Structure 1
Amino acid sequence: MAGSTKIALFGLVLSSGRQVLAGLNQAALAGKYFGNDAPWYQDRIPFFEVSDTAIMDVYYYRWQVFRAHQRDLGADGYISTEFIDDVSWQTQPSASINAATQFHLNEGRWCRDRRFRVDYTNFMYGPDANPRAYSDSTALSAWNAYLVDGVQSDLTGLLDSMQNLYNHWQDTQYDSSKGLFYVEPIADGTEYTIASIDASCGSDGFTGGTAFRPSINTYQYGNARAIANIAELVGKADVAADYNARAEAIKKNVQSSLWNSTFEHFIDRYYASTQCSTYWDFIRGRELVGYVPWLHNLPDDDTVYAPAWAHLIDPEKLGGLYGMRTNEPSYEYYMKQYRYQGTARECQWNGPAWPYQTSQVLGALANVLDHYPKTAAENTITAQDYMNLLRQYAKLHYNKNRGGLNIEEDYDSATGAPIVGLDRSSHYFHSSFVDLVVTGLVGIRPRADDVLEINPLAVDIKYFRIEGLIYHGNEVSVQWDADGSRYGTKGLVVEVGGNVVGTSKTLARVTVNVTRKAPPQYLRYIAKSIQLENSTVDPQIPRYPVGSVSVPDAVPYQVQHAIDGRIWFFPQPNNTGIISHGWLTPAGNGSEVWHMVDFGNKINLTSAEVAFYADGGIGVPTAYRVEANLANGWQIVPKAKFPRLVGNGITYASWSTVSTSQIRLVFTPPKGLPSRLVEWKLYSELVDGSVFHR
């Protein structure tokens, strides 16, 4: 529990008169939440404590989700995945799905190691992604990351690609007579909406129902603003003017055409006509997607739109007991189940609570409470509502079906239990939480200028402290103590570079000037052993590097999993294979086994990361070594350093450089237990776990 974690936090006054504060016991927090994998997190995440235990626990769990979904592609660097393992509709072979990219980048902008978001953004605008599989706001999310780290070079080289993608959308899914974009709900990541169900006359809704939606138009509004902002950074005034004009046109048309005064909500209008739907007609109900315009600051601060927020906390409308409903119980087909996988219910958006849109709505609400003064003054919804909804969302992470912390795809808002619950659903990464804590509860509002702005929404929180956050290259901490009993200093305290630069006796907006600095320079080692395609694609065609094992009749995809660039250590209940990953050996009998990587040609290798999973039924090997196939056959690599293996963490092995086409990890599973090799990565450089250049 947060209250039992020992911290060291007290005020000091330097001879210069500047006050500095000591901080949280980061090593203790990392050990508590991440166990043997703590070293991965210690230089990468902002550490946080808060008087609400559930919010604190979920905050650290969501960093585990982030870490688990960083897939190493080898030379292309890292991307974030939506599902923890492969699904049939992902982009092959990377497993990327652009529908979730906006959440990945918004969450990842708070990771101190910028490599993940830089690699990912470059990949999504490169030749091997599929950026139009789903609607998204990747350009805006990349801009939002810039607002945190302030590094222009991360963006400016992508400007042409961003424009090309935007224009492709405009050429193919834009109705010039209405000045709006349209999308089929399934391509918006939301099958079985009111539009798609009603377009089928209530018979289905998986596809169809193409409509002018608040979502895609808000995304394109945000993307246009981002492109304009980036163009201004590089002095392209004509491009900036063009895209600002496009954004203004979308804003005008969304407000004039998608706002429904009867429902007092932004809702869809049909693009495609069917027997039961007519072009330009409104759909017949409110949906949660109607709050997305505020997520990207599209609506004017006009009190005419304020009544929409009353629906969110109305238990008869969108305010479910355990989660936000995606549409209302008054809808004829509310919660009617159309789609199954076998007997298991599949994904639908006709009422279930989705973390996807829940996190969008919370982000939108934080914007309203922060910089929509006229709307907020209507008191339709308050900061207390934000905290109530954030807690409600946090509780969804405590899985009522599987147990423990495990975020899934969608939930029954009446019970709080997951609906879909398939193997693919565990630890699902199509939402945000860290970003909501940082920008909402803590209230850090990233800006393009060199100002640090804090406006916390933590109205009923007794205390919180976040530290180690990098903003415009500066180390930032924010602390709140309602009565001074936790940290010895009552009120709000803002620190930059370890120095107190702003205070307030109450939860109030604080702004301080900062000097922009270069953020820490991250290391970018390239794993040589990554194989993205498993042998089930075509086992007759070797795709180097190729994995093999000493055990006969091993499952081919498990062998490949040990070199596929994925690492996670989530519990694997009853060893059923649910969310398991890597190569599972037979139970140990004292004999050695090995996993070999064949590169096809000689390559220089110097070090390895080795990851084994462990629990009560799966054990860490009792011994291991690395061997290379050299001129005289298989030999232990020279001048080797083989630290003791750890379970559920990374062991770094190194040796003098060898040139070889084949290398293998030889190890001994414990007697009576199998071992699971989650991943081992091989490098030409010396990799020791360091994150930044020293």
Structure 2
Amino acid sequence: MSLASAEPASARISALPLDTHRIAAERFGNDGNWYVDNIPFWDSSDPRLDEVYYYRWKIVRAHQRDLGPKGFITTEFLDDVGWQREPYASLNDATGFHLYEARWLRDRRYADDYINYLYEDGGNDRHFSEAIADAVWARYLVDGDRAAAIRHLSAMRHLYGAWDDHFDFSKGLYWIEPLLDATEYTISSIDASGGKDGFTGGQSFRPSINSYMAANARAIAAIAALAGDGAVAADYEARSEALRRPMLAALWSPSLGHFVDRFKVDNAFVHYWAPIRGRELVGYLPWTFGLVSGSDYRDAWAHLLDRRELAGAAGLRTVEPSYPFYMRQFRYDKATGRPECQWNGPAWPFQTTQVLQGLANYLRQDRHGRVASADDWFRLFRQYAALHYQDGRLDLEEDYDPDTGRPIVGLERSHHYFHSGFDDLLITTVAGLVPQSGNKLVVDPLVPSAGSGRLRWFALQNLPYKGRLVSIVWDQDGRHYQRGAGLRVWLDGRPVARRGELGRLEVGIMPRPLPAIARPVDLAVQLVRNAYPLPSASSNAAPEALHDAVDGRIWFFPELANGWTSAANGQEQWYALELGREQRIGSAALAFFANGGIVAPDEVRLERWAAGQWVAVATARTVLANGITQLRFSPVRTNKVRLVMAKPIGKPVRLVELKLFD
């Protein structure tokens, strides 16, 4: 059954199965309202998938950084690192993952602000290779916002042209240093050093950058067509194809049965245009971006499933064990002596996400192929989910030993690292909503329908899609959700299609107008230290602690402290901001952390400076720990505010973030 018919009236069960408020309270505690307002809710017969799914939305939430007038961006590391773009703390290598995840949030501001920052404020700075135009198009496939999709067409074309500095016109291919491909210590960079290093160097024609650029060209073509510019659409479609063909022809290694790098560099150790000597996970990226057709080159997938090759017991290896420098540690953190990032074998969620997307794309074209199956995909997805745990605790880090699943880098910066995707894979492949450019809804779950590895039930509820809310429910025998057996699809709370077994459903859908995006501006954000607004406090005047409470970041993970923490001296504490000029303020949002010996205050009072003294503006006598406390009051004008906190004697409080709004 490939095309769904409408549910008969006798079969319609309108009530959706999940109690989202209850789940939000259980999963997110006092911060549950943000998730109720934003995420699609999920439930299944696999508790681990459920836990990781909701944990990954916590990662999305934690990495939203409010830049004040510039809106929200998504960060890669929770806190600052030395190679970020200042003063925003952005990096562009994982941006595609960020947008693929954020496209499923009901508040479209998070993706929209971020895209504006990338193309209007220099956020796409080419620090690393990227497929950001592709991600913008992917976002359009979900929300259908034409104006947002075409807004940055000119900037996309400009950035695409800027990559000519990495284009070899004689070969018709792009080249890059692996470090700038966000993958230091690959085969090409290690071998180009003669096995002595590999952090820099090793410039090569890689499947990664060429796949990114072919995908970006194809996305620009689609966006230009959406804008009604047929000439630009034809030009970029031709560019994509002109890159795709030589990439597949030149980077395919018949002897390895895999896509590999060819060297750009020529030195005593390696030579121009010679292929590298081993298989890497990056060789699957042509499938990730839909650049391989049907069963072409399908034998490459056998290497992904072979324990002697790329299939580690706990994660996918970035390089095969046969490589002489497999898992050799070259680089260590100077401060701690701990291992640093390398891509010569460790399992990386970054490339695991890309490969799982590539395998899903392959299977949708060659569903009954002899090399890999939906069972393989789902097993690898579950393996990936398991990497999120450390001794039973959820904390995704940078890279892992592919045979043990233990983190390798494990530095302070590594906690809850947003350098990969997960929820988008679950939505599009497990639940099976496959975004389309036309007015149709396609649901095609790619999971086993039988055997011990199957999902006996799952539900994905209130997924935003083209101005509508989609819910997908699978219940093998109908007993779990009491909504009937089989696969069912709801649209805006009404059942529209069903089938008895897992498989493809296709439904016509009429997109609805999207509401305008609300963009309240946080007046309290301090992007540049020692600039306005200037914080001060009754205790703990450490500059970084003061800054942390107005840096635009909110998270409640205990592994990495965030915010200003008061002294535990039993006295009333305060945190003040000098705004630099008189401003109108009508509300505030307060985030407090509590865990163990750190508590939320019993009561807070917001004050303004007026006529030489502090005057109370609003009081909250119920303060949420690990959530957001809202203060609303009649607007006032002031150039200074102070938050006064009452707390139990002898206990410190931690103000994660103070936000002020007109």
1:545 maps to 533
Give 1:358 shift: 0.4
2:326 maps to 334
Q: Distance in 2 between matches of 1:354 and 1:18?
A: 44
1:238-317 alignment runs, 5 A limit: 238-303=231-296, 305-317=297-309
Q: What one-letter code is carried by the residue in structure 1 that aligns with 2:591?
A: A
Q: Distance in 2 between matches of 1:446 and 1:670?
A: 52
Q: Secondary structure at the match of 2:643?
A: strand
**Does the alignment pair 1:390 with 2:385?**
no
Give 1:133 shift: 0.3
Q: Distance in 1 between matches of 2:521 and 2:235?
A: 39
Q: Distance in 2 between matches of 1:673 and 1:642?
A: 19
Give 1:352 shift: 0.2
Give 1:520 shift: 4.1
Give 1:642 shift: 2.3
* Inter-CA distance 588–278: structure 2 relative to 1 (3 Å threshold): same
- The answer on whether the counterparts of 1:569 and 1:613 sit within 8 Å (CA) in structure 2 is yes
- The answer on whether the counterparts of 2:601 and 2:653 sit within 8 Å (CA) in structure 1 is yes
1:691 maps to none
Which of 307, 312, 317 aligns to 1:320? It is 312
Give 1:130 shift: 4.4
Q: What one-letter code is carried by the residue in structure 1 that aligns with 2:498?
A: T
Deviation per CA, 1:75-103: give whole Å up to 9, x if none. Answer: 00000000000000000000010001000
1:460-539 alignment runs, 5 A limit: 460-488=454-482, 489-535=484-530
Give 1:137 shift: 0.5
- The answer on whether the counterparts of 2:65 and 2:74 sit within 8 Å (CA) in structure 1 is yes
Q: Secondary structure at the match of 1:345?
A: coil
* Inter-CA distance 16–328: structure 2 relative to 1 (3 Å threshold): closer
* Inter-CA distance 381–16: structure 2 relative to 1 (3 Å threshold): closer
Q: What one-letter code is carried by the residue in structure 2 that aligns with 1:315?
A: R
Q: Secondary structure at the match of 2:14?
A: strand
**Does the alignment pair 1:354 with 2:348?**
yes
**Does the alignment pair 1:164 with 2:158?**
yes
Give 1:571 shift: 2.0
Which of 558, 562, 565 aligns to 2:549? It is 562
Deviation per CA, 1:522-575: give whole Å up to 9, x if none. Answer: 42111011001234xxxxxxx111111122x62101101100000000124xxx
Give 1:23 shift: 2.7
Which of 138, 145, 156 aligns to 2:139? It is 145
Please report the TM-score for the alignment, with normalisation by the length of structure 2.
0.96
2:93 maps to 99
Which of 407, 425, 448 aligns to 1:418? It is 407
Q: Distance in 2 between matches of 1:156 and 1:426?
A: 36
**Does the alignment pair 1:219 with 2:222?**
no
1:538 maps to none
2:4 maps to none
- The answer on whether the counterparts of 1:474 and 1:519 sit within 8 Å (CA) in structure 2 is no
Give 1:328 shift: 0.4
Give 1:17 shift: 8.0
1:692 maps to none
**Does the alignment pair 1:380 with 2:371?**
yes
Q: Distance in 2 between matches of 1:195 and 1:669?
A: 58
Segments of 5+ residues of structure 2 without an aligned counterpart are 1-6, 449-453
- The answer on whether the counterparts of 1:398 and 1:404 sit within 8 Å (CA) in structure 2 is yes
Give 1:55 shift: 0.5
Q: Secondary structure at the match of 1:609?
A: strand
- The answer on whether the counterparts of 1:641 and 1:655 sit within 8 Å (CA) in structure 2 is no
Give 1:434 shift: 0.3
2:591 maps to 611
Q: Secondary structure at the match of 1:611?
A: strand
1:646 maps to 624
Q: Distance in 1 between matches of 2:516 and 2:31?
A: 22
**Does the alignment pair 1:82 with 2:76?**
yes
Give 1:15 shift: 7.7
1:10 maps to none
Q: Distance in 2 between matches of 1:22 and 1:308?
A: 42
1:194-209 alignment runs, 5 A limit: 194-209=187-202
Give 1:315 shift: 0.2
Give 1:287 shift: 0.2
Q: Secondary structure at the match of 2:394?
A: coil
Which of 36, 50, 59 aligns to 2:53? It is 59
- The answer on whether the counterparts of 1:620 and 1:670 sit within 8 Å (CA) in structure 2 is no
Q: Distance in 2 between matches of 1:366 and 1:545?
A: 48
- The answer on whether the counterparts of 1:642 and 1:654 sit within 8 Å (CA) in structure 2 is no
- The answer on whether the counterparts of 1:105 and 1:145 sit within 8 Å (CA) in structure 2 is yes
Q: Secondary structure at the match of 1:440?
A: helix
Q: Distance in 1 between matches of 2:393 and 2:648?
A: 28
Q: What one-letter code is carried by the residue in structure 1 that aligns with 2:431?
A: V
Give 1:192 shift: 0.2
Q: What one-letter code is carried by the residue in structure 2 that aligns with 1:310?
A: A
2:396 maps to 407
1:50 maps to 44
**Does the alignment pair 1:571 with 2:541?**
no
1:190 maps to 183
- The answer on whether the counterparts of 2:604 and 2:621 sit within 8 Å (CA) in structure 1 is no
Give 1:632 shift: 4.4
Q: Distance in 2 between matches of 1:409 and 1:128?
A: 26
Segments of 5+ residues of structure 1 without an aligned counterpart are 1-12, 536-542, 573-578, 685-694
Q: Distance in 2 between matches of 1:224 and 1:384?
A: 33
Q: What one-letter code is carried by the residue in structure 1 that aligns with 2:285?
A: V
Q: What one-letter code is carried by the residue in structure 2 that aligns with 1:397?
A: H
Q: Give the superposed CA RMSD.
A: 1.4
Give 1:592 shift: 1.2
Q: Distance in 1 between matches of 2:474 and 2:75?
A: 34
Q: Percent identity?
A: 47
1:37 maps to 31
Give 1:500 shift: 1.4
- The answer on whether the counterparts of 2:486 and 2:502 sit within 8 Å (CA) in structure 1 is yes
2:644 maps to 666
* Inter-CA distance 679–97: structure 2 relative to 1 (3 Å threshold): same
Q: What one-letter code is carried by the residue in structure 1 that aligns with 2:555?
A: W
* Inter-CA distance 520–60: structure 2 relative to 1 (3 Å threshold): farther
Q: Secondary structure at the match of 1:99?
A: coil
Deviation per CA, 1:170-203: give whole Å up to 9, x if none. Answer: 2x01001111111100001000000000000000
Q: Distance in 1 between matches of 2:566 and 2:204?
A: 51
Q: Distance in 2 between matches of 1:502 and 1:17?
A: 10
- The answer on whether the counterparts of 1:587 and 1:670 sit within 8 Å (CA) in structure 2 is no
Which of 145, 148, 152 aligns to 1:154? It is 148
Q: Distance in 2 between matches of 1:169 and 1:260?
A: 26
Q: Secondary structure at the match of 1:580?
A: coil
* Inter-CA distance 14–264: structure 2 relative to 1 (3 Å threshold): closer
- The answer on whether the counterparts of 1:534 and 1:561 sit within 8 Å (CA) in structure 2 is no
- The answer on whether the counterparts of 1:91 and 1:130 sit within 8 Å (CA) in structure 2 is no
Q: What one-letter code is carried by the residue in structure 1 that aligns with 2:650?
A: G
Give 1:649 shift: 0.2
1:690 maps to none
Deviation per CA, 1:636-683: give whole Å up to 9, x if none. Answer: 11xx35251110000001221111110010112322221111001000
Deviation per CA, 1:89-147: give whole Å up to 9, x if none. Answer: 00000001000100000011111111000000010112342420000000000100000
Q: What one-letter code is carried by the residue in structure 1 that aligns with 2:377?
A: Y
- The answer on whether the counterparts of 2:17 and 2:481 sit within 8 Å (CA) in structure 1 is no
Give 1:377 shift: 3.3
* Inter-CA distance 75–231: structure 2 relative to 1 (3 Å threshold): same
Q: Secondary structure at the match of 2:428?
A: helix
Q: What one-letter code is carried by the residue in structure 2 that aligns with 1:564?
A: D
- The answer on whether the counterparts of 1:545 and 1:598 sit within 8 Å (CA) in structure 2 is yes
Q: Secondary structure at the match of 1:635?
A: strand
Q: Distance in 2 between matches of 1:485 and 1:520?
A: 38
Give 1:21 shift: 3.2
